Structure 1
Amino acid sequence: MKTTSRTTNAERAGRWFGRAWRGFVRQEARAVQWLAGKGLPAGVARLLLWIVKLAVFAVLLYVAFWLALLLAFAVAAAWLVRNSELDDEKQPELRDGHSGVGLYDKDDWRIDMGDPDDP
């Protein structure tokens, strides 16, 4: 058994997020002290920072909602294009059929107005 253990990627990421969080909390405390130094009560400064955090969170949720809606429409449009049967329908064509030369539909019915006795 080894005496030294290797640090996993998950542990390394957890430590990085922990350091980032501590730095964020430290900067928040500095902001509260700065606002208190400008004459704002500390409780009001904390409340102001909470309002800012909630506003940022609301903006992120708003953006995420519209991105998810855009993604849903893109997926729906791709599904509709994939399952469309526009090219499968046989188009009328000019040919010589049982009623003479003319436009015939998929059921072999002549669809143009013309006299079948005219050449």
Structure 2
Amino acid sequence: MGTKTRISNAERFGRWAGGMWRGGVRRERRLAGRLVARGLPPGAATALLWLVKLAVLGVLLYAAFWLALLLVFAVAAAWAMQHGTADQEEPDLLNRQAEERDHREGLFYHPASYNDDPDPRFEDD
């Protein structure tokens, strides 16, 4: 006898999702009943509930669009970082490559910090 006494996780999830759905339908009917009790025609109450559902769906789609767009930009940035030219250095402000730069022309250059040939700009008087 191979009868299974335990329920599977899929069946447990299905029962949970079905219970949540039935609870939502029950609350929706209760809200429609309250709207009708307050004097709204039944067709208008149904239309109002559908408008609320469509508005919620629109907000969810709007948020999903922006999250998807953010994900696309993140993937594009990661791809650009991975496939970028890592062997070439970026030029500086004067559009010179790294091998053309002279450290003596840097903003914070002082000859005492380097073991260079004497610099005529820093001659002792």
Q: How does 1:56-95 map to 2 (within 5 A)?
A: 56-85=56-85, 87-89=86-88, 91-92=98-99
User: Normalized per residue, which structure has more helix?
Assistant: 2
Q: Deviations over 1:6-33 (max 9, x none)?
A: 2000000000010111110010000010
TM-score (norm 1): 0.73
RMSD: 1.8
Aligned length: 94
Q: Tell me the equivalent position of 1:36.
A: 36
Superposed structure 1 runs of 4+ greater than 6 Å apart: none
Q: Tell me by how many angstroms 1:2 deviates.
A: 3.8
Q: Deviations over 1:72-91 (max 9, x none)?
A: 00000011011111x41263
Q: How does 1:8-47 map to 2 (within 5 A)?
A: 8-47=8-47
Q: Percent identity?
A: 57
AA of the residue aligned to 1:5: T
- Structure 1: unaligned runs, 5 residues or longer: 95-119
TM-score (norm 2): 0.69
Q: How does 1:93-108 map to 2 (within 5 A)?
A: none
Q: Which has the higher contact order (CA 8 A, sep 6+)?
A: 1
| 1-structure distance, mates of 2:6, 2:74 | 44
Q: Tell me by how many angstroms 1:5 deviates.
A: 2.5
User: Normalized per residue, which structure has more strand?
Assistant: 1
